[in-house]
Copies of this chain bind each other. A is one copy, B any other.
Protein backbone atom coordinates (compact mmCIF):
# COMPACT_ATOMS: atom_id res chain seq x y z
CA UNK A 1 0.00 0.00 0.00
CA UNK A 2 2.82 2.37 0.75
CA UNK A 3 3.72 2.19 -2.92
CA UNK A 4 0.24 2.95 -4.26
CA UNK A 5 0.52 5.86 -6.62
CA UNK A 6 -1.95 8.66 -7.32
CA UNK A 7 -2.27 10.34 -10.72
CA UNK A 8 -3.64 13.83 -10.25
CA UNK A 9 -4.99 16.32 -12.75
CA UNK A 10 -5.54 20.04 -12.24
CA UNK A 11 -8.83 21.92 -12.46
CA UNK A 12 -8.14 22.95 -16.05
CA UNK A 13 -8.20 19.22 -16.95
CA UNK A 14 -11.88 18.91 -15.99
CA UNK A 15 -13.58 18.00 -19.27
CA UNK A 16 -15.34 20.81 -21.12
CA UNK A 17 -17.83 18.45 -22.81
CA UNK A 18 -19.59 15.20 -21.93
CA UNK A 19 -19.26 12.29 -24.33
CA UNK A 20 -22.46 11.00 -25.91
CA UNK A 21 -21.88 7.45 -27.16
CA UNK A 22 -25.14 7.08 -29.08
CA UNK A 23 -24.05 8.56 -32.45
CA UNK A 24 -21.13 6.09 -32.56
CA UNK A 25 -23.08 2.96 -31.75
CA UNK A 26 -23.28 0.40 -34.59
CA UNK A 27 -26.92 -0.24 -33.66
CA UNK A 28 -28.79 2.70 -32.17
CA UNK A 29 -30.99 1.81 -29.21
CA UNK A 30 -34.67 1.52 -30.06
CA UNK A 31 -36.65 4.61 -29.13
CA UNK A 32 -38.33 4.97 -25.77
CA UNK A 33 -42.11 4.95 -26.09
CA UNK A 34 -44.74 7.18 -24.56
CA UNK A 35 -46.52 5.09 -21.89
CA UNK A 36 -50.00 6.11 -23.12
CA UNK A 37 -49.65 6.43 -26.91
CA UNK A 38 -46.82 3.89 -27.32
CA UNK A 39 -45.33 6.28 -29.90
CA UNK A 40 -41.62 7.14 -29.89
CA UNK A 41 -40.89 9.84 -27.36
CA UNK A 42 -40.18 13.42 -28.33
CA UNK A 43 -38.29 15.84 -26.07
CA UNK A 44 -41.59 17.67 -25.58
CA UNK A 45 -43.11 14.50 -24.11
CA UNK A 46 -40.44 14.67 -21.42
CA UNK A 47 -40.78 18.37 -20.60
CA UNK A 48 -43.40 17.81 -17.87
CA UNK A 49 -40.99 15.40 -16.17
CA UNK A 50 -37.47 16.73 -16.66
CA UNK A 51 -35.87 20.10 -17.36
CA UNK A 52 -35.99 20.91 -21.05
CA UNK A 53 -32.23 20.63 -21.46
CA UNK A 54 -32.16 17.21 -19.76
CA UNK A 55 -35.05 16.11 -22.01
CA UNK A 56 -33.15 17.22 -25.12
CA UNK A 57 -29.98 15.49 -23.93
CA UNK A 58 -31.98 12.34 -23.24
CA UNK A 59 -33.02 12.07 -26.88
CA UNK A 60 -29.91 13.51 -28.52
CA UNK A 61 -28.67 10.89 -30.98
CA UNK A 62 -26.57 13.18 -33.17
CA UNK A 63 -24.03 15.11 -31.09
CA UNK A 64 -21.04 13.13 -29.81
CA UNK A 65 -19.99 15.94 -27.50
CA UNK A 66 -22.28 18.08 -25.37
CA UNK A 67 -20.78 21.12 -23.73
CA UNK A 68 -20.63 21.25 -19.94
CA UNK A 69 -21.93 24.65 -18.77
CA UNK A 70 -19.21 26.81 -17.23
CA UNK A 71 -21.22 27.02 -13.98
CA UNK A 72 -21.35 23.22 -13.73
CA UNK A 73 -17.61 22.96 -14.38
CA UNK A 74 -17.07 25.50 -11.59
CA UNK A 75 -19.10 23.32 -9.23
CA UNK A 76 -17.24 20.21 -10.36
CA UNK A 77 -14.11 21.98 -9.10
CA UNK A 78 -15.30 21.49 -5.53
CA UNK A 79 -13.92 17.94 -5.73
CA UNK A 80 -12.92 17.21 -9.32
CA UNK A 81 -10.69 16.08 -10.96
CA UNK A 82 -10.72 12.94 -8.83
CA UNK A 83 -7.57 10.85 -8.36
CA UNK A 84 -6.62 7.80 -10.38
CA UNK A 85 -4.71 5.36 -8.17
CA UNK A 86 -2.40 2.50 -9.09
CA UNK A 87 -3.42 -0.04 -6.43
CA UNK A 88 -0.01 -1.54 -5.75
CA UNK A 89 -1.11 -2.61 -2.28
CA UNK A 90 -3.85 -4.77 -3.76
CA UNK A 91 -1.55 -6.08 -6.49
CA UNK A 92 0.94 -7.15 -3.82
CA UNK A 93 -1.77 -8.78 -1.71
CA UNK A 94 -2.91 -10.77 -4.77
CA UNK A 95 0.68 -11.41 -5.93
CA UNK A 96 -0.49 -10.72 -9.47
CA UNK A 97 1.42 -9.55 -12.54
CA UNK A 98 -1.64 -7.44 -13.44
CA UNK A 99 -1.56 -3.67 -12.98
CA UNK A 100 -4.68 -2.53 -11.15
CA UNK A 101 -5.90 1.06 -11.36
CA UNK A 102 -8.98 2.60 -9.81
CA UNK A 103 -10.66 5.93 -10.35
CA UNK A 104 -11.57 7.28 -6.92
CA UNK A 105 -15.03 8.84 -7.16
CA UNK A 106 -15.53 8.44 -3.40
CA UNK A 107 -13.80 11.77 -2.76
CA UNK A 108 -16.90 13.83 -3.62
CA UNK A 109 -18.47 15.67 -0.66
CA UNK A 110 -21.38 13.21 -0.71
CA UNK A 111 -19.06 10.22 -1.03
CA UNK A 112 -20.04 8.97 -4.48
CA UNK A 113 -20.09 9.71 -8.22
CA UNK A 114 -23.79 10.66 -8.06
CA UNK A 115 -23.01 14.36 -7.70
CA UNK A 116 -21.66 14.39 -11.29
CA UNK A 117 -25.24 14.24 -12.58
CA UNK A 118 -27.11 15.78 -9.65
CA UNK A 119 -25.40 19.13 -10.24
CA UNK A 120 -26.20 19.58 -13.95
CA UNK A 121 -29.75 18.29 -13.44
CA UNK A 122 -30.36 20.80 -10.65
CA UNK A 123 -28.59 23.51 -12.65
CA UNK A 124 -30.80 23.05 -15.74
CA UNK A 125 -33.90 23.14 -13.54
CA UNK A 126 -32.70 26.35 -11.92
CA UNK A 127 -32.02 27.90 -15.35
CA UNK A 128 -35.66 27.49 -16.34
CA UNK A 129 -37.01 28.74 -13.02
CA UNK A 130 -38.02 25.43 -11.44
CA UNK A 131 -38.53 25.83 -7.69
CA UNK A 132 -39.12 22.22 -6.59
CA UNK A 133 -37.68 18.84 -7.49
CA UNK A 134 -38.75 15.35 -6.46
CA UNK A 135 -36.73 12.18 -6.58
CA UNK A 136 -36.46 8.73 -5.08
CA UNK A 137 -33.56 7.01 -3.40
CA UNK A 138 -32.84 3.43 -2.41
CA UNK A 139 -29.65 3.20 -0.42
CA UNK A 140 -29.44 6.99 -0.30
CA UNK A 141 -26.38 7.86 -2.43
CA UNK A 142 -28.43 9.59 -5.10
CA UNK A 143 -30.70 11.28 -2.58
CA UNK A 144 -27.71 12.71 -0.72
CA UNK A 145 -26.15 14.00 -3.95
CA UNK A 146 -29.33 15.68 -5.15
CA UNK A 147 -29.94 17.13 -1.68
CA UNK A 148 -26.63 18.93 -1.88
CA UNK A 149 -27.06 19.95 -5.53
CA UNK A 150 -30.53 21.43 -4.99
CA UNK A 151 -29.35 23.19 -1.83
CA UNK A 152 -26.58 24.82 -3.88
CA UNK A 153 -29.16 25.98 -6.42
CA UNK A 154 -31.73 27.16 -3.90
CA UNK A 155 -34.31 24.60 -5.05
CA UNK A 156 -36.51 22.65 -2.61
CA UNK A 157 -36.23 18.88 -2.77
CA UNK A 158 -38.56 16.07 -1.69
CA UNK A 159 -36.96 12.61 -1.58
CA UNK A 160 -39.02 9.42 -1.48
CA UNK A 161 -36.80 6.96 0.33
CA UNK A 162 -37.57 3.24 0.23
CA UNK A 163 -39.15 2.56 3.64
CA UNK A 164 -36.83 -0.26 4.64
CA UNK A 165 -33.79 1.97 3.99
CA UNK A 166 -35.47 4.92 5.72
CA UNK A 167 -35.66 2.82 8.86
CA UNK A 168 -32.49 0.76 8.50
CA UNK A 169 -30.17 3.49 7.17
CA UNK A 170 -30.89 6.50 9.36
CA UNK A 171 -27.43 7.97 8.60
CA UNK A 172 -28.29 8.45 4.93
CA UNK A 173 -31.59 10.04 5.86
CA UNK A 174 -29.81 12.39 8.28
CA UNK A 175 -27.33 13.44 5.60
CA UNK A 176 -30.17 14.49 3.30
CA UNK A 177 -31.91 16.31 6.14
CA UNK A 178 -28.69 18.03 7.15
CA UNK A 179 -28.50 19.43 3.62
CA UNK A 180 -32.10 20.60 4.09
CA UNK A 181 -34.09 18.11 1.98
CA UNK A 182 -37.48 16.72 2.95
CA UNK A 183 -37.28 12.93 3.21
CA UNK A 184 -40.45 10.81 3.04
CA UNK A 185 -40.59 7.07 3.67
CA UNK A 186 -42.08 5.31 0.63
CA UNK A 187 -44.78 4.04 0.25
CA UNK A 188 -46.38 7.14 1.76
CA UNK A 189 -49.87 8.61 2.03
CA UNK A 190 -48.77 11.66 -0.01
CA UNK A 191 -49.48 10.12 -3.42
CA UNK A 192 -52.15 8.01 -5.09
CA UNK A 193 -49.58 5.33 -5.91
CA UNK A 194 -48.42 5.26 -2.30
CA UNK A 195 -51.91 5.23 -0.79
CA UNK A 196 -52.95 2.35 -3.03
CA UNK A 197 -50.08 0.17 -2.01
CA UNK A 198 -50.42 1.02 1.69
CA UNK A 199 -54.12 0.18 1.51
CA UNK A 200 -53.48 -3.11 -0.29
CA UNK A 201 -50.38 -4.09 1.72
CA UNK A 202 -50.24 -2.18 5.04
CA UNK A 203 -46.82 -3.61 6.01
CA UNK A 204 -45.11 -3.21 2.64
CA UNK A 205 -41.51 -2.01 3.18
CA UNK A 206 -41.22 -0.26 -0.16
CA UNK A 207 -39.17 -0.67 -3.34
CA UNK A 208 -37.31 1.60 -5.72
CA UNK A 209 -40.08 1.09 -8.29
CA UNK A 210 -42.74 2.34 -5.88
CA UNK A 211 -40.62 5.28 -4.77
CA UNK A 212 -40.11 6.33 -8.41
CA UNK A 213 -43.87 6.17 -8.98
CA UNK A 214 -44.46 8.42 -5.97
CA UNK A 215 -41.78 10.94 -6.98
CA UNK A 216 -43.01 11.09 -10.58
CA UNK A 217 -46.64 11.50 -9.46
CA UNK A 218 -45.77 14.36 -7.10
CA UNK A 219 -43.67 16.12 -9.78
CA UNK A 220 -46.43 15.81 -12.39
CA UNK A 221 -49.08 17.18 -10.04
CA UNK A 222 -47.10 20.08 -8.52
CA UNK A 223 -46.68 23.43 -10.27
CA UNK A 224 -43.12 24.38 -11.22
CA UNK A 225 -41.82 21.02 -10.06
CA UNK A 226 -39.63 18.55 -11.95
CA UNK A 227 -38.43 15.06 -11.31
CA UNK A 228 -34.79 13.92 -11.35
CA UNK A 229 -33.36 10.43 -11.68
CA UNK A 230 -29.90 9.24 -10.70
CA UNK A 231 -29.34 6.40 -13.16
CA UNK A 232 -30.80 4.44 -16.10
CA UNK A 233 -31.47 7.46 -18.35
CA UNK A 234 -29.18 8.53 -21.19
CA UNK A 235 -28.62 12.02 -19.85
CA UNK A 236 -27.43 10.62 -16.53
CA UNK A 237 -24.91 8.32 -18.24
CA UNK A 238 -23.85 11.30 -20.33
CA UNK A 239 -23.05 13.42 -17.26
CA UNK A 240 -21.10 10.58 -15.70
CA UNK A 241 -18.65 10.43 -18.63
CA UNK A 242 -16.49 13.00 -16.83
CA UNK A 243 -15.22 9.97 -14.90
CA UNK A 244 -13.86 8.13 -17.92
CA UNK A 245 -12.67 11.26 -19.72
CA UNK A 246 -10.51 12.18 -16.75
CA UNK A 247 -9.37 8.57 -16.33
CA UNK A 248 -8.27 8.50 -19.97
CA UNK A 249 -5.87 11.41 -19.37
CA UNK A 250 -4.65 9.84 -16.15
CA UNK A 251 -3.95 6.45 -17.74
CA UNK A 252 -1.89 8.35 -20.28
CA UNK A 253 0.09 9.93 -17.40
CA UNK A 254 0.67 6.41 -16.11
CA UNK A 255 1.86 5.39 -19.57
CA UNK A 256 -0.68 2.57 -19.88
CA UNK A 257 -4.01 1.78 -21.51
CA UNK A 258 -6.57 -0.53 -19.90
CA UNK A 259 -7.06 -4.05 -21.22
CA UNK A 260 -10.27 -4.23 -19.21
CA UNK A 261 -12.54 -1.53 -17.72
CA UNK A 262 -14.91 -2.47 -14.89
CA UNK A 263 -17.81 -0.76 -13.15
CA UNK A 264 -20.47 -2.04 -10.78
CA UNK A 265 -23.94 -2.03 -12.26
CA UNK A 266 -27.30 -0.90 -10.85
CA UNK A 267 -28.97 1.18 -13.56
CA UNK A 268 -25.72 1.94 -15.36
CA UNK A 269 -24.61 5.41 -14.30
CA UNK A 270 -21.13 4.73 -12.96
CA UNK A 271 -20.40 1.86 -15.34
CA UNK A 272 -21.30 4.07 -18.31
CA UNK A 273 -19.30 6.93 -16.86
CA UNK A 274 -16.03 5.03 -16.60
CA UNK A 275 -16.58 2.93 -19.77
CA UNK A 276 -18.02 4.99 -22.60
CA UNK A 277 -15.02 7.32 -23.13
CA UNK A 278 -12.74 4.27 -23.47
CA UNK A 279 -15.33 2.40 -25.54
CA UNK A 280 -15.29 5.12 -28.18
CA UNK A 281 -11.80 3.92 -29.14
CA UNK A 282 -13.18 0.40 -29.58
CA UNK A 283 -16.04 1.71 -31.71
CA UNK A 284 -13.57 3.59 -33.90
CA UNK A 285 -11.51 0.43 -34.30
CA UNK A 286 -8.36 1.77 -32.54
CA UNK A 287 -8.59 -0.41 -29.45
CA UNK A 288 -10.04 -3.69 -28.27
CA UNK A 289 -10.53 -3.13 -24.58
CA UNK A 290 -12.96 -5.41 -22.72
CA UNK A 291 -15.73 -3.78 -20.66
CA UNK A 292 -17.20 -5.62 -17.71
CA UNK A 293 -20.31 -4.60 -15.76
CA UNK A 294 -20.38 -6.22 -12.31
CA UNK A 295 -23.90 -6.81 -11.07
CA UNK A 296 -25.13 -8.64 -7.95
CA UNK A 297 -26.17 -12.28 -8.40
CA UNK A 298 -29.42 -11.37 -6.69
CA UNK A 299 -30.36 -8.83 -9.37
CA UNK A 300 -28.84 -10.18 -12.62
CA UNK A 301 -30.53 -8.07 -15.30
CA UNK A 302 -27.54 -8.05 -17.65
CA UNK A 303 -26.53 -11.68 -17.32
CA UNK A 304 -30.03 -13.19 -17.10
CA UNK A 305 -32.56 -10.48 -18.00
CA UNK A 306 -34.70 -10.36 -21.15
CA UNK A 307 -34.46 -7.63 -23.82
CA UNK A 308 -37.94 -6.13 -23.75
CA UNK A 309 -39.82 -2.87 -23.49
CA UNK A 310 -40.39 -2.24 -19.79
CA UNK A 311 -41.34 0.53 -17.40
CA UNK A 312 -38.79 2.23 -15.16
CA UNK A 313 -41.16 2.15 -12.18
CA UNK A 314 -43.71 -0.07 -10.52
CA UNK A 315 -46.88 1.88 -11.32
CA UNK A 316 -46.01 2.32 -15.02
CA UNK A 317 -45.80 6.13 -15.04
CA UNK A 318 -42.46 6.27 -16.89
CA UNK A 319 -41.84 5.86 -20.62
CA UNK A 320 -41.41 2.34 -21.94
CA UNK A 321 -37.69 1.73 -22.18
CA UNK A 322 -36.05 -0.91 -24.39
CA UNK A 323 -34.09 -2.70 -21.70
CA UNK A 324 -32.47 -5.84 -20.45
CA UNK A 325 -34.86 -6.36 -17.58
CA UNK A 326 -36.00 -8.73 -14.87
CA UNK A 327 -39.45 -7.10 -15.05
CA UNK A 328 -40.59 -3.95 -13.25
CA UNK A 329 -42.29 -6.04 -10.58
CA UNK A 330 -39.16 -8.08 -9.85
CA UNK A 331 -38.34 -7.79 -6.16
CA UNK A 332 -34.62 -8.34 -5.50
CA UNK A 333 -33.34 -9.78 -2.23
CA UNK A 334 -32.50 -7.19 0.41
CA UNK A 335 -28.72 -7.13 -0.18
CA UNK A 336 -26.64 -4.35 1.33
CA UNK A 337 -25.68 -2.95 -2.09
CA UNK A 338 -29.04 -1.16 -2.23
CA UNK A 339 -27.93 0.96 -5.18
CA UNK A 340 -27.74 -2.15 -7.39
CA UNK A 341 -31.26 -3.38 -6.58
CA UNK A 342 -32.93 -2.18 -9.78
CA UNK A 343 -34.75 -4.37 -12.26
CA UNK A 344 -33.45 -3.03 -15.57
CA UNK A 345 -30.54 -1.53 -17.48
CA UNK A 346 -30.67 1.70 -19.47
CA UNK A 347 -31.37 1.44 -23.21
CA UNK A 348 -27.81 2.18 -24.33
CA UNK A 349 -26.12 -0.40 -22.12
CA UNK A 350 -28.84 -2.92 -22.98
CA UNK A 351 -28.09 -2.46 -26.68
CA UNK A 352 -24.31 -2.57 -26.22
CA UNK A 353 -24.62 -5.79 -24.22
CA UNK A 354 -26.96 -7.31 -26.79
CA UNK A 355 -24.49 -6.43 -29.56
CA UNK A 356 -21.58 -8.06 -27.71
CA UNK A 357 -19.71 -4.78 -27.24
CA UNK A 358 -19.46 -5.33 -23.47
CA UNK A 359 -19.59 -8.16 -20.95
CA UNK A 360 -21.24 -8.61 -17.60
CA UNK A 361 -20.51 -10.80 -14.58
CA UNK A 362 -22.63 -11.47 -11.55
CA UNK A 363 -21.08 -11.34 -8.09
CA UNK A 364 -22.51 -13.10 -5.02
CA UNK A 365 -22.89 -10.89 -1.94
CA UNK A 366 -20.26 -12.73 0.12
CA UNK A 367 -17.66 -12.44 -2.63
CA UNK A 368 -18.33 -8.71 -2.84
CA UNK A 369 -17.68 -8.21 0.89
CA UNK A 370 -14.60 -10.41 0.84
CA UNK A 371 -13.25 -8.22 -1.96
CA UNK A 372 -14.24 -5.04 -0.11
CA UNK A 373 -12.42 -6.10 3.06
CA UNK A 374 -9.28 -7.06 1.11
CA UNK A 375 -9.36 -3.71 -0.65
CA UNK A 376 -9.83 -1.79 2.61
CA UNK A 377 -6.83 -3.51 4.16
CA UNK A 378 -4.67 -3.14 1.06
CA UNK A 379 -5.59 0.39 -0.01
CA UNK A 380 -6.98 2.00 3.14
CA UNK A 381 -10.35 2.94 1.61
CA UNK A 382 -13.54 1.25 2.77
CA UNK A 383 -15.63 0.88 -0.40
CA UNK A 384 -19.39 1.18 -0.77
CA UNK A 385 -21.06 -2.26 -0.98
CA UNK A 386 -22.03 -1.33 -4.55
CA UNK A 387 -18.44 -0.53 -5.57
CA UNK A 388 -17.32 -3.77 -3.94
CA UNK A 389 -18.83 -5.61 -6.90
CA UNK A 390 -16.43 -3.83 -9.25
CA UNK A 391 -13.53 -4.67 -6.92
CA UNK A 392 -14.55 -8.33 -6.88
CA UNK A 393 -14.62 -8.39 -10.68
CA UNK A 394 -11.19 -6.68 -10.78
CA UNK A 395 -9.81 -9.29 -8.37
CA UNK A 396 -11.15 -12.07 -10.61
CA UNK A 397 -9.32 -10.46 -13.55
CA UNK A 398 -6.10 -10.07 -11.56
CA UNK A 399 -6.21 -13.72 -10.47
CA UNK A 400 -6.88 -14.83 -14.04
CA UNK A 401 -3.86 -12.81 -15.18
CA UNK A 402 -1.76 -14.56 -12.54
CA UNK A 403 -2.98 -18.01 -13.60
CA UNK A 404 -2.30 -17.19 -17.24
CA UNK A 405 1.09 -15.76 -16.26
CA UNK A 406 0.38 -12.63 -18.26
CA UNK A 407 0.39 -8.91 -17.59
CA UNK A 408 -2.99 -7.21 -17.78
CA UNK A 409 -3.99 -3.59 -17.18
CA UNK A 410 -7.20 -3.42 -15.15
CA UNK A 411 -9.13 -0.22 -14.50
CA UNK A 412 -12.18 -0.08 -12.26
CA UNK A 413 -14.33 2.68 -10.87
CA UNK A 414 -14.52 3.11 -7.10
CA UNK A 415 -17.94 4.73 -7.28
CA UNK A 416 -18.24 5.51 -3.57
CA UNK A 417 -17.02 4.89 -0.05
CA UNK A 418 -18.75 2.69 2.48
CA UNK A 419 -18.48 4.80 5.63
CA UNK A 420 -22.27 5.05 5.82
CA UNK A 421 -22.57 1.29 5.33
CA UNK A 422 -20.57 -0.01 8.27
CA UNK A 423 -23.58 -1.98 9.52
CA UNK A 424 -23.17 -4.13 6.44
CA UNK A 425 -19.47 -4.71 7.20
CA UNK A 426 -20.32 -5.46 10.80
CA UNK A 427 -22.75 -8.15 9.69
CA UNK A 428 -20.25 -9.52 7.18
CA UNK A 429 -17.47 -9.75 9.78
CA UNK A 430 -19.93 -11.46 12.16
CA UNK A 431 -20.77 -14.07 9.48
CA UNK A 432 -24.37 -12.91 9.27
CA UNK A 433 -24.58 -12.25 5.51
CA UNK A 434 -25.81 -14.67 2.86
CA UNK A 435 -25.85 -15.12 -0.91
CA UNK A 436 -29.13 -14.98 -2.80
CA UNK A 437 -30.05 -16.83 -5.97
CA UNK A 438 -32.66 -15.90 -8.53
CA UNK A 439 -34.54 -18.81 -10.14
CA UNK A 440 -35.25 -19.00 -13.87
CA UNK A 441 -38.91 -19.29 -12.96
CA UNK A 442 -38.80 -15.91 -11.18
CA UNK A 443 -37.27 -14.23 -14.21
CA UNK A 444 -39.76 -15.85 -16.60
CA UNK A 445 -42.74 -14.93 -14.41
CA UNK A 446 -41.76 -11.27 -14.06
CA UNK A 447 -40.93 -10.72 -17.72
CA UNK A 448 -43.78 -12.67 -19.31
CA UNK A 449 -46.23 -9.80 -19.65
CA UNK A 450 -43.81 -7.38 -21.31
CA UNK A 451 -43.72 -6.17 -24.89
CA UNK A 452 -41.02 -8.11 -26.73
CA UNK A 453 -38.38 -6.37 -28.77
CA UNK A 454 -38.39 -8.03 -32.13
Contacts and interface: CB of A to CB of B under 8 A. Distances in A.
Interface of A: 1-6, 8, 10-11, 71, 74-75, 77-78, 89, 107, 109-111, 148, 151-152, 170-175, 177-180, 373, 376-377, 379-382, 419-420, 422-423, 425-426, 429
B380 A152 contact: yes
Contacts of A419: 111, 171, 175, 419-420
B174 A422 contact: yes
A2 B170 contact: no
A373 B178 contact: yes
A118 to B, nearest CB: 11
A302 to B, nearest CB: 29
DSSP majority for the A interface?
Answer: helix
Given A2-B75, A6-B11, A107-B107, A180 B377 contact: yes
7 contacts: A2-B152, A5-B77, A8-B10, A89-B152, A109-B380, A175-B419, A175-B425
A385 to B, nearest CB: 12
Given A171-B423, A174-B429, A178-B429, A4 B380 contact: no
B380 A78 contact: yes
Given A175-B419, A419-B420, 12 more contacts: A1-B78, A2-B71, A5-B77, A6-B77, A8-B8, A107-B107, A171-B422, A173-B426, A174-B425, A175-B422, A178-B377, A178-B382
Contacts of A109: 379-382
A178 B2 contact: no
A376 B152 contact: no
Contacts of A174: 422-423, 425-426, 429
A420 B71 CA distance: 31
Contacts of A71: 2
